Amino acid sequence: MCLSIPAKIISIDGSMAEVSAGGAIFNAGLHMIEDAKVGDYILLHAGFAIQMISEKEAEETLRLFEEINNSLDE
C-alpha cells in the first residue's frame, strides 16, 4: 500500500518545489503535474507531487490523519 500526504507549495525553483506538510518542510519534484503555483496543494509521494488537490481536500485529509493518530494514542 502506498501513502501520499497533502502538502502546500511554499516555493518553486524550476521543476522542484519546497512544500509544507503537517509543519514539516519537504522538497518535491513537480515533474508529474502541470501549472503548479505557490499556494497550491498537492499530494506528495516519494518526493514527487503526484496530483493537485483542493485546499478543502487537503484540510479534510489532514484532519482524518490527526483523528487516526489521536485514536492510536488512547
Based on the structure, what is the number of domains in the chain? 1
pLDDT at 44: 97
Each residue of 28-72: pLDDT tens digit? 999 999 999 999 999 999 999 999 999 999 999 999 988 998 898
Find the domain containing 25 and state its range. 5-73
Beta strands in the chain (DSSP E): 5-13, 16-21, 24-29, 41-45, 48-53
Hey, what's the cell of 4?
501520499
Residue 52 belongs to domain with CATH number: 2.30.30.140
Instruction: Identify the three-state secondary structure at position 56.
Output: helix
Average the pLDDT over 3-26 and give the result: 95
pLDDT at 72: 83
